Amino acid sequence: MGMASEILEFAMLFAFGFSWPFAIVRTYRAKRVDGKSPQFMFIVIFGYLCGIAAHLVEGTKLWLCIVYLIDIALVSTDLALYFHYSRKNREHPNDRRTCAGDPIHEATD
C-alpha cells in the first residue's frame, strides 16, 4: 500500500509541476500578467509547504520533499514574473515593449 501511495503522490506532483513551465513561458513571452492571480499562487505554495511539513512530521517518503521543492520553485518563478511585469505594466501602461505577444495590441499596429 505504501509504494502505491508514493507513486500516486509523485504523479500528482509531477502533473501539477509539469503545467507551471508552460505558464512561466507564456508570462515571459507576453510580458503581461492579465488574468493571473498572485493569491492563487500563494495558496498553491502554501499547499506544497503543508505537504512537505506532513512528510517531515511523519518522517516518511522524504524523497517526495524534493519534488515539492521543485514545484515551489516553479510557482515562485511565475510569481516573481507576475510582480515584475505587473510593476512594469503599471509604470508604463502604453509602452508597446511590455505588450509584446499580446494579440490585442499587435492588431492595432
Reported as a single tens digit per residue, the pLDDT across 75-101 is 999 999 999 999 988 887 776 554 444
Cα-to-chain-centroid distance, residue 29: 15
How confident is the model at residue 1, as a pLDDT?
56
Average pLDDT over residues 52-74: 94
Contact 10, 67 (CB under 8 A): yes
109 pLDDT more than 50:
no
How confident is the model at residue 92, as a pLDDT?
78
- At the topology level, CATH places domain 2-103 in Monooxygenase (1.20.1280)
Provide the residue ranges of all domains of the chain, joining segments of one domain with +.
Answer: 2-103
For residue 36, what is its C-alpha cell? 493571473
Any residues with CB less than 8 A from the CB of 68 and at least 6 apart, and which?
13, 48, 49, 51, 52, 55
How confident is the model at residue 66, as a pLDDT?
95
pLDDT band at 29 (very low <50, low <70, confident <90, very high): very high
